Amino acid sequence: MLYTETKSFEEIEKLIKQEESIFLLGCGGCAEVCKTADEETIAEIEAKIKETGKSISGKLIVDFMCSKHLLIKRLARYQELLDGCSAILVFSCGIGVQCAGAVSDRAVYPATNTISLGGFQGLWPGEERCAQCGTCYLGITGGICPITFCAKELLNGACGGAKDGKCEIKTERECGWVLIYERLKKIGKLELLKEIQQPRDFRKIEPDAKLRKTIHFDIDR
């Protein structure tokens, strides 16, 4: 299970500022358990979005968004509503947001941050990975994680070392930032790359202090 927290509405509003019509997509798996994708939370965000003058083209909660095959099947039934939206706001962990981006031709934005509880969290059927960084950046990268797809975990574009689309560090893998550029180009969102991202807050990748397994040595004994 991956643990999520809902982003502040100010953050969500900033992410979707260029969009007119939003489809709300929630995960009935882990995110439902964390109360970040339950009907009440989604309805609350829906009401706030409507207050800003934007429209909601539809909403859906899918069991386990981390299965792309299941997601494709479920979304197919809502194709008309999806065609009517300019973007999808996703209430799930980072894996679910990445899966939504991979199976849709719409911009995807995370409504949550996936945070670390420490330890081993689970397995997913696809190649998407989430490092539970605590500040989900998928809204500015077309739904491709810059932390797990880039060997240097860069936030402001490619390092310049990629060759023929391959990473200079992990040469067997595609360069994550080439993938991000191609995805943003495909969905017409290259302007997102113009905003400079501030350095990460690495305190957010630490599990909550109460949950850390720290051994205390009494040095006076």
Interface positions, 67-126, toward ligand SF4 (CB under 6 A)? 94, 113-114
Q: Which of 91, 108, 73, 107 is nearest to 2 (CA)?
A: 91
Helix (H, G, I), strand (E, B), or coil: what is residue 174? strand
130 binds ligand SF4 (CB under 6 A): yes
Residue from 45, 61, 167, 184 in contact with ligand SF4 (CB under 6 A): 167
31 binds ligand SF4 (CB under 6 A): no
Which amino acid is it at 25? L
147 binds ligand SF4 (CB under 6 A): yes
Residue from 140, 162, 180, 187 in contact with ligand SF4 (CB under 6 A): 162
Residue from 103, 159, 189, 207 in contact with ligand SF4 (CB under 6 A): 159
Q: What is the DSSP letter of 185?
A: H
Cα gap 52→61, rounded to integer Å: 23
15 binds ligand SF4 (CB under 6 A): no
Residue from 49, 88, 90, 138 in contact with ligand SF4 (CB under 6 A): 138
Cα gap 17→138, rounded to integer Å: 15
Residue from 72, 76, 131, 211 in contact with ligand SF4 (CB under 6 A): 131
Overall residue count recorded for the chain in this entry: 221
136 binds ligand SF4 (CB under 6 A): yes
Cβ contact 209:157 at 8 Å: no
